[in-house]
Amino acid sequence: MDGWKRGWVAAVADGRSLAWTAHATFADLLDVHGTSTVAVDMPIATTDGPREVDVAGQRWLREHGGSWSSIFLAPTTATVAAWEGDPNHSHAAAMAAKGDAPGTSIQAWYLIPKMVEVRDALATRPDARVVEAHPECSFRMMDDRIGRTSKKTGRGAGLRIRALAREFDLDLADAPADVPVDDVLDAAAVAWTAARVERGEHVTLPEGATRAPRIVI
């Protein structure tokens, strides 16, 4: 599952088949898919300082030829609380600095509304099996030849499509209308990870972590 500017896109794996759905809210998505393992490209749990899982994810990507910068340091608990009180990036950055935590990047700042949406949906659905995943980790677990090639380029998209096509009977013509291609591919990548969780084949970052915050691959 991946967030995009108008909601969420879900890719649902069943063997080699891949089905797509689009949802306005994460709560709507869980109402449809919540009985299965849901892997979502979004930080699930915050901490008082930098999350160990983000640092572990950056290290893993470097070790597997990827770009560590594709994993942002997630906003801290204080930064999320600051956003909820006043959605202003400079204010949240100041709040984070006050707590001796690094300032929040603008990229991470824009994740906060979706993070809060996920948090609130899970609070009312304690039995939902939702794990945090990162598509760039998933893609490089599928095929480490992707390297540092950006998903925003034709070659980068092609490499990711080729990796997915080895795992699924992939047909992007079935994807929801209007959803950008990189969000569709990211949703498919974390669906691959969700299937690995269902089969007990996944690995976690940090190694051995059994609960959030963790990244599952």
Distance CA 76, CA 114 (A): 14
**pLDDT tens per residue, range 41-84:** 999 999 998 899 999 999 999 999 888 888 989 999 988 988 88
Question: The whole model's pTM is what?
Answer: 0.91
Per-residue pLDDT at 100 exceeds 50: no
User: Per the structure block, which two tokens stand in for 27?
Assistant: 């709560």
Which parts of 82-146 are beta strand (E)?
A: 130-132
For the ranges 15-24, 46-55, 106-115, the lowest mean pLDDT is seen at: 106-115
Q: How confident is the model at residue 106 (pLDDT cuts 50, 70, 90)?
A: confident
Percent of the chain with pLDDT over 70: 93
**pLDDT tens per residue, range 167-182:** 999 999 999 999 999 9
Mean pLDDT of the chain: 91
Per-residue pLDDT at 201 exceeds 70: yes
pLDDT at 154: 94
Per-residue pLDDT at 98 exceeds 70: no
**pLDDT tens per residue, range 129-163:** 999 999 999 999 999 889 899 999 999 999 999 99
Distance CA 177, CA 1 (A): 16
Q: Is 36 exposed, middle or buried (0-12, 13-18, 19+ CB in 10 A)?
A: middle
